[in-house]
Structure 1
């Protein structure tokens, strides 16, 4: 039986879990000077979910990273409002509806 070095096994495991060309990297983030009341509230929320503080905060960061920033959201709203101010005639509206039905 062939013997593998630990680094080879880690690579193989990462490859099997994530596919080729996607290196698995994680970073550590340290947040200093967190007020006690904030820390206590976060710990309570984690406990209510049956999670460790690390699990809870990592999940919250992942959710936060998937959402658009406030600036991006406002820009989307501006673009949508600019497009909403356009008016269509009844015949244009019916033509668009009928084109969708074909």
Structure 2
């Protein structure tokens, strides 16, 4: 595992991080690592946009009740 150093952290940001780390009963390093890990686990706006683009268009002519009926019949099978 490697290390990461963050320079020029604004005082207000550091203060909030320290308060949140203490509230979570974690060191500042543990808290920052958990926040970074959670952040990269979520897709970015660009990644979400690409997922939507790749899916392609939906057929607005299909009624929701038809889609639900299809899904329910698949679940029942």
Superposition TM-score tier, normalisation by shorter sequence? 0.7 to 0.9
Computed over aligned residues only, the root mean square deviation of the Cα atoms, in angstroms, reads: 2.8
1:60 aligns with 2:35: yes
1:74 aligns with 2:49: yes
> Which protein is bigger by CA-based radius of gyration?
1
Name stretches of at least 5 consecutive residues in structure 2 with no aligned partner: none
Q: Post-superposition shift, 1:74?
A: 2.4
Q: Secondary structure at the match of 2:57?
A: helix
Count residues with an aligned counterpart: 74
Name stretches of at least 5 consecutive residues in structure 1 with no aligned partner: 1-25
Please give the residue correspondences for 1:1-80 in structure 2 after superposition, counting only pairs within 5 Å. Answer: 26-78=1-53
1:87 aligns with 2:69: no
**TM-score (norm. length: structure 2):** 0.72
Q: Which range moved further: 71-80 or 52-61?
A: 71-80
**TM-score (norm. length: structure 1):** 0.57
